[in-house]
Amino acid sequence: MILDPTWLARLAPLELRARVRTEGAAAGRHAGLRRGLSGEFIGQRPYAVGDEWRRIDWKAYARTDRWTVREARMESPLSSTLFLDVSRSMAFSAEGRLPKIRYAALLLSLLAAVLVRRQEGCGLGLVNDHVVKHVPSRTGAEALARLMSVLEGASAAGATDIGRALDEARPALARRGVVVVASDFLQPLEGWLPSFRRLSAAGHDVIAFQVLDPVELSLAISGSRRFEDLETGGGMTADPEIVGARYRALMAERQRRLTRSLTGMGVEPALFETDEPIDVALALFLRRRMERL
Amino acid sequence: MTFLSPLFLVVLPLALLPALLHFWGRGRSRIFPFSHVALLQEAVRDWMSWERIRRWALLAARIGLLTALILFWSRPVLHRGGGALSASGQRAVLLLVDASYSLGATREGRTAFASVLARGRDILDNTRAGDRAGLIVYSDRVESELPITEDVARVRRELAAARLTFRPTDVAPAVGLARQWMRKESGAKSAVILSDLAAHGWRNVVSSTAPRGGIGWVLCEAGTAGDNAALVGADAVLDPASDRLRGRLSVAAWGAPARPERPWSLFVNGRSLARGRVPVLGGVAAAEFLSAPVAGRGAAAEVEARLDPDALPADDPLYWMAARPSAPSFLIVNGAPNLSPVSDEAYYLRPVLEAWARDGARFQSVLPSELAEADLSPWNALVFLNVGPLPERARRNVEGYVRGGGGLWTTVGDRWEESGRLAVLPSGSGGFRDVDEGVISGGRENDPLPALCSPEWDWKSARVKRLLAWTPGGDARVLLQTRESRLPVFLLGSAGAGRVAVLTTSVDRDWTNLPAKPIFPVLCREALSHIGRLDAPPEETPRVVGEPLEWKRRGAGTGKIRRPDGSEDVSTERDGRWRYEQTDLPGFYRLLDAVGGPATIAVNVDRSKGEGDLSLVSRDHAARALGGTGMTWVGPEENVGRALEGRPLAPILARLILAFFALETFLLWRWRKS
């Protein structure tokens, strides 16, 4: 997969900020859980047995005649895991636009590029109703190339069960970090929201990239059609001009419920429509997130 | 059930077209792979049941609409208990046979009237024992009638005796009589109008509410060709100054005549004198000017113009008497005859009179004393030249003549006496005045003689030395007056039906130089023509077929009439008037001497005009005009017997068409709304 250099240029000043404290032994840009000498100063405390001598604040001792220890939060690199829904429903595209799976793969590729350029780790999982492929989080150009290779080779197959797949993948997420799930999230909410709740409860910063074709939101096609489900194969004949309004109302209601549910459990939802330029959409998301965090 | 136009049933399978399109369209719905059919199913869950019903209802409405339309065109007739001749119990059928001359139109060598009679016979042949029938033969009036009777054979005989007339069509009297008769009938009753159903015959039919248990009207179209041309007018007269007939023929055409030109020929007194071709274009009236030499100088000529016959030959000839305008005649009453011609006022009128006499005008000069016994009626006008007071009898004679429509021109001279002034003159005078003034026009544009008001006439050189100071009264119009004192010089007025002109000075060179001016002959001729009513066109009363002829003629009690077809008939005289009523043919009717000598009087009788347009009356108009329980229209090729045998289903089908159309519109509207 070759990413357009202009996309990368547009995304160069941006980063994916984490809402949670990251875990890791190496030093990085993100606030970690561990305390140490370097990093962001967070306060002083009386010396206790076992503290390292070098952590004693000698200037404070000179002023107060008490041994006090400086404490600082250690910064560690971000460890991100990207999940791409590769179920058959992601193969949908209309009016010559990119299939959702390709749009989502490009989106995750760009995000991975952003992470890797900042020396942050990035892993990948392809999921449908199970984990199809898992690439552990690594840093460096080689890791990025491998991720992009996997994303490029992703093809839509199988039914969707994001919840089950995430539950299956959760044990592999040893360290806290950012989890990005790119899917259309069109399966019933009850089936996969608990998994997101569990991920979030485990301390991960979960981001839900909902990738939809505009037609899925508006049903803006003309003429009576026989609609065939990409996953189940079931079908029905309907005239979008007749049922369009009702469909749009239901879809809008579903989207509101989805956003409300995800936000309620600490998951950040982001909607991407496949007629939007990928770099612009991702840049907009990252910029807003940076402003917020 | 039978169909009057079964050919339309051939296309009945077309009614299944919506079903074919429906299933073909459903099978060919384009497949659209979709990611979220579950939500779509949820969206249409409420809608699908209604949509399924709507689609089937729409399909049914369309199939029903097409089926009803095709059946409507195929004219189904239900045989169970509907029409007059199929109903059980007492049944009555009344035939209204159109015998107007437009039924003389031929189609494939057969007149429409013959078709009408044949259809009438068919109907009567299909009656059963106990049926009642009646007959009305009509044109613009009821020509013959036979009230509804059980004696169908008699009706058949009456029908066979019906003859085509040369009268126009007006179905109103026949329809009125039919309603009146039918009101007395009980049971099933049908009135069958056998006609060409041309629109011109339906102008006067007044809509009527049908009586209880109303009449079923059946309109049988005879099937005449729509294109026709007719002679509709002629205003040719004999030129009084020559031996020629001059005038114009007017031709009207309807539809799309096959020939762009039609030959015409002109017969005068039975001899063919002229022929030509006239352009014939549908919807356009054409005029053909004609000029033909006429032998002899009779007062009138029998003229027959004839277009080359077309499908309707009855309106191609036209007959009229071309009159020779009678020469004007004037009685000159010279109040002061002199031995010396130049002293005589009549002398100054000579240029006028001589010029006019060359055109046939007649003049006679008398003395005032002769007026008491004179028969003034032959004269167009009296010309009084310096006439003094008249004896009482002469005065009454003159005044009666003027009030009865005669004309009077009077000049004033030294014999004038105010006390002897005729009462018919427009007001009176205030004595003689010596003025010596010029003359100016006092007339206006709308005066009776506008030519005299024209600025091109040079009145300035005319002078008046002496005149009678006249005070105009009544409706007098001053046409000439003196320049300074504005005294009337010449004025016009009226008395009863007559017209009067007054010259307030004498035609004498000592009084005025007016007679010596070029304008004077013009003034005299215009004024005399006006008061003698020579400028009014002769009134002509058109005589049409079927109206009686009357002559005023002294003679024995009986006389012979030679009819247009050459046959002779007898006319009787009563109280000095001859009357002949059998004017059933257009042409010339000649009253012969009792001994069978040459014709002494000829009168033209013509068809009435306005029958030429053979276009059909609209069904809506006919249905509205007739009222009743319903109207069945039977085309020229359709079987009238079948139409009468059953109840036509067309009204029911028309309602069904409307219902299906309304249902389809509603379903489509609901679809839009949903």
The pTM for the full model equals 0.48
| Cβ <8 Å between B40 and A227 | yes
A interface test, pick of B22, B24, B28, B35 with most A CB neighbours within 10 Å: B35
Percentage, residues of chain B above pLDDT 70: 82
Is A238 an 8 Å CB contact of chain B? yes
Q: Is B349 or B406 the better-scoring residue by pLDDT? A: B406
Mutate to test the interface with B, among A222, A226, A248, A274 (most CBs of B within 10 A): A226
Which residues from B are below 8 Å from A224, CB to CB? Answer: 25, 29
The two three-digit tokens of residue A251, written as one number: 């879809």
Q: Are B355 and B339 in contact (CB under 8 A)?
A: no
Say whether pLDDT at B215 is over 80.
no
Picking from A216, A235, A237, the nearest residue to B36 by CB comes out as A216
A228, B32: Cβ pair inside 8 Å?
yes
Q: Within a 13 Å sphere around the CA of B603, how many CA atoms are in the beta-carbon half?
A: 24
The 3-state DSSP class for residue A206 equals strand
The DSSP bridge partners found for residue B51 are none
Q: What is the pLDDT of residues B382-409, one digit of tens each?
A: 988 888 888 889 999 999 999 888 899 9
DSSP A56: B
- C-beta atoms of A236 and B26 within 8 A: no
Instruction: Report how far Cα B561 is from the mean position of its chain's Cα atoms.
Output: 27
Q: Please judge whether B33 and A92 are an interchain contact, meaning their C-beta atoms are less than 8 angstroms apart.
A: yes
**Tokens of residue B262, six digits:** 């039609």
| B29 part of contact set with chain A, CB < 8 Å | yes
Mean per-residue pLDDT, A141-165: 90
Residues of chain B in contact with residue A235, where contact means CB-CB under 8 angstroms, are 31, 37
Closest alpha carbon within chain A to B44: A243
- Which of these, B202, B200, B195, lies nearest to B222 by C-alpha position? B195
Position A133 confidence tier, pLDDT thresholds 50, 70, 90: very high
CB contact under 8 A, A246 and B43: yes
Q: What is the spatial distance between Cα B155 and Cα B95, in angstroms, rounded to a whole number?
A: 9
Q: Do B36 and A186 touch (CB under 8 A)?
A: yes
Q: How confident is the model at residue B634 (pLDDT cuts 50, 70, 90)?
A: confident
* B578-627 per-position pLDDT tens digit: 788 888 888 888 877 655 444 566 777 777 777 778 888 888 888 878 87
**Residue B238: pLDDT band with limits 50, 70, 90:** confident
The A residues from 69 to 128 touching B (CB cutoff 8 Å) are: 89-90, 92, 100
From chain A, pick out residues whose CB is under 8 angstroms from the CB of B29. 224-226, 237
- Who contacts B455 (Cβ-Cβ below 8 Å, separation ≥6)? none
Report pLDDT for B415: 83
Of the candidates B30, B36, B46, which has its C-beta nearest A225's C-beta?
A: B30
Burial class (CB in 10 A: 0-12, 13-18, 19+), B612: buried
Which residue's structure tokens are 């898992």?
A134
C-alpha distances in angstroms, B107 versus B226, B258, B311? 11, 14, 7
Q: What angle do CA B630, B632, B637 make, to 5 degrees?
A: 180
Q: Please judge whether A243 and B43 are an interchain contact, meaning their C-beta atoms are less than 8 angstroms apart.
A: yes
Of B31, B42, B671, the CB nearest to A250: B42
CA distance A219 to chain B (A): 9
Which residue in the set B29, B35, B51 is minimally distant from A230, CB to CB? Answer: B35
B38 inside 8 A of chain A by CB: yes
**Predicted local distance difference test score (pLDDT) of residue B157:** 93
Radius of gyration of chain B (CA): 39
What pLDDT, on a 0 to 100 scale, did the predictor assign at position B83?
A: 47
Secondary structure class of B525 (helix, strand, coil): helix
Q: Rounded mean pLDDT of A38-45?
A: 71
B44 at the A interface (CB within 8 A)? yes
Beta strands A79-85 and A178-183: pairing type?
parallel
Answer whether B28 touches A (CB < 8 Å).
no
Q: Which of B83-87, B227-231, B254-258, B424-428 has the lowest mean pLDDT?
A: B83-87
**Type of residue numbered B184:** K
Q: Which residues have a Cβ under 8 Å from the Cβ of B349 and sit 6 or more positions away?
A: B332, B383, B385, B507, B515, B524
> What average pLDDT does chain B have?
80
Which stretch of A15-19, B15-19, B490-494 has the lowest confidence by average pLDDT?
Answer: A15-19
- Give percent of chain B above pLDDT 90: 11
- The residue in chain B having the minimum alpha-carbon distance to the alpha carbon of residue A247 is B43
Task: Give the tens place of pLDDT for each residue, A73-130.
Answer: 656 567 789 999 999 999 999 888 999 999 999 999 999 988 888 778 889 999 998 9
The confidence score (pLDDT) of residue A36 equals: 55
Interface test with chain A among B22, B30, B31, B32, by most A beta carbons within 10 Å: B32
Contact between residue B295 and residue B305 where contact means Cβ atoms under 8 Å apart: no
- Chain B residues in contact with A254 (beta carbon < 8 A): 39
Decide if B41 touches A, using CB distance below 8 A.
Answer: yes
Cβ of B43 under 8 Å from any chain A Cβ?
yes
Nearest CA in chain A to B35: A89
Q: How far apart are CA A85 and CA A89, in angstroms?
A: 9
Q: Is A47 on the interface with B (CB under 8 A)?
A: no
Q: Which residue carries 């015998």 as its tokens?
A: B99
Contact B40/A243, CB-based, under 8 Å?
yes
- Answer whether A33 touches B (CB < 8 Å): no
The answer to whether residue B210 scores a pLDDT higher than 50 is no
**Using 50, 70 and 90 to split pLDDT, how confident is the model at B211?**
very low
CB-defined contacts A:B, below 8 A: 79
Closest residue in A to B41 (Cα) is A236
Chain B interface includes A189 (CB < 8 A): no
Q: Are B34 and A228 in contact (CB < 8 Å)? A: yes
Q: Which of B34-43, B276-285, B457-466, B577-586 has the lowest mean pLDDT?
A: B276-285
Can you tell me the ipTM of this complex? Answer: 0.76
Q: Is B115 helix (H, G, I), strand (E, B) or coil?
A: helix
**Closest CB to A234 among B32, B35, B37:** B37
**Alpha-carbon gap: B58 to the closest alpha carbon of chain A (Å):** 16
Q: Are residues B159 and B134 in contact, defined by beta-carbon separation less than 8 angstroms?
A: no
* DSSP β-bridge partners for residue B603: B589
3-state secondary structure of B568: strand
B516: left (phi over 0), alpha (psi -120 to 50) or beta: alpha
| B672 reaches A (C-beta below 8 A) | no
Nearest CA distance, B26 vs chain A (angstrom): 9
Residue B669 dihedral angles phi and psi, to the nearest 5°: -65, -40
How far apart are alpha carbons B545 and B480 in whole angstroms? 51
The answer to whether A237 contacts B26, with C-beta atoms less than 8 Å apart, is yes
Please indicate if any CB of chain B lies within 8 Å of the CB of A280. Answer: no
Q: Which of A242, A256, A273, A274 to mutate to test the interface with B (most CBs of B within 10 A)?
A: A242
Q: Would the CB atoms of B31 and A228 count as touching at under 8 Å?
A: yes
